[in-house]
A and B are shown apart, each in its own frame.
Chain A
Amino acid sequence: MHPDLFNRQILFLGGKGGVGKSTASAVLAYQAATRSINTLIVSTDPAHSTMDIWGKKIDDRPRKLFPFLSAMDIDSRREMKRFLGDVRKQLLQVVSTDMAGAVDRHLKMVKHTPGSEEAAIFEKMASILLDYQDDYDLIIFDTAPTGHTLRLLSMPALLEPFVKNLLKQRDRVHQVQQGTRALSDAGGNDDKHEDPIYETLMKRLDKIKRVERLFLDETKTAFVPVTVAEALPVQETVRLVAQLTDQGFPIGGVIVNRLLPDPAGDAFWESRKSMEKKWLQQLQKKLKGRYPLYGIPLLDDDICGIQRVREVVPELI
């Protein structure tokens, strides 16, 4: 059914709010699991739809739902709390005790700085990719709506030059330091690899680069926009695909959710069905037929719980 999609190790599902990203992720994950592909589904959506679909509590560690299927979520607030908590502990070791209040005020400010939330999610996503890659055959990221996802995926491109520049500047500090040390015969160690600032930045850069390499590797990764066959979602999908390909991210196909059943002569549904057909054609045309479209049918009930997820088999359109 999705021979190409299940050949990858990492799938990102994204798209406009409400089109059914979590449903599509669940359906794909289940289909993979039935093929004995050990799958981890990771929800980065603050709406926590994944939890509602499986009817089970999901947290920051993989939890086995069924054979070959585990799930976890990324909560940006939880991640920021943990990360800034570590920094706080370290800072309190170096500042005087009456500065504790100032430390807390400052860290609170960093928490609310634009970009921190994405950085927290990116950081956790990077750790999951690097830590769990060998434990699972397939990792499916169920991401938040389009804008969020695009910002998240462009994190490496944003972070890398900044960290690189910091490293370059730090390197210059070390070079001059070496010169002054040599002249004053002070001895001491000026090895930059013993500078915790340099080392911390190097570790960051290394992680960012490894994740970026994974993101852009079309043999391992695919981005799968999810949409429904209506005007606005289709237009947004076309834009999303353009932006992703612009940045070099491989597209694995598009999932079209809630395909209508046969209208069976009813005038209202006939009209809806012909509209659906029109938007499907539009989508194919705008994407120049480059990517496979997978359809998920509209059911008479919500796709909630394993019983319903099991029923849904995506078909190539």
Chain B
Amino acid sequence: MTHKSVTGQAKQLFDEVFVDPYRRSLLREQRNLEDFFALLCFSELLGLPNPISYYTVELYPYFYEDFHAWHKRMGMEHSPLAGFPCC
């Protein structure tokens, strides 16, 4: 076994044991935060008062893809919001 492959294997092991779980938890955290952000923006569609819905509406075009991913992740095949222009 060459010196190079030993360090390579060590790095792989290191990644598997430490980096990957960390990355996974970071990704989960990122998704949670994105979902929470979406919830804040779309709250009026869920019947929660949102005093700035007039302003968040201008974010919708940027939000479209995120929204689609969001309701899929929430376990809803189609958009749960009657009237929201998604699938």
Contact = CB atoms under 8 A, between A and B. Distances in A.
A102 interface: yes
Interface string B72-83: 000000000001
B37 A115 contact: no
Contacts of A87: 57-58, 60-61
Interface residues of B, number: 35
A99 interface: yes
A226 B49 CA distance: 33
Contacts of B49: 114
Contact of B85 (A93, A95, A162, A176): A95
Q: Is the interface of B mostly helix, strand, loop or mixed?
A: helix
B62 A196 contact: yes
B85 A200 contact: no
Nearest to B57: A110
Interface string B43-76: 0100001111111111111111100000000000
14 contacts: A83-B58, A86-B58, A87-B57, A87-B61, A115-B53, A116-B53, A119-B54, A119-B55, A158-B51, A159-B55, A163-B52, A169-B40, A201-B59, A204-B55
Given A163-B55, A166-B41, A169-B40, 20 more contacts: A90-B61, A91-B61, A91-B64, A91-B85, A93-B61, A99-B86, A102-B83, A103-B85, A105-B85, A106-B83, A110-B54, A110-B57, A113-B54, A116-B53, A119-B52, A163-B52, A166-B37, A180-B26, A180-B30, A183-B22
Interface of A: 80, 83-84, 86-87, 90-91, 93-95, 99, 102-103, 105-107, 109-110, 113-116, 119-120, 123, 158-159, 162-163, 165-166, 169-170, 172-173, 176-177, 179-180, 183-184, 196-197, 200-201, 204
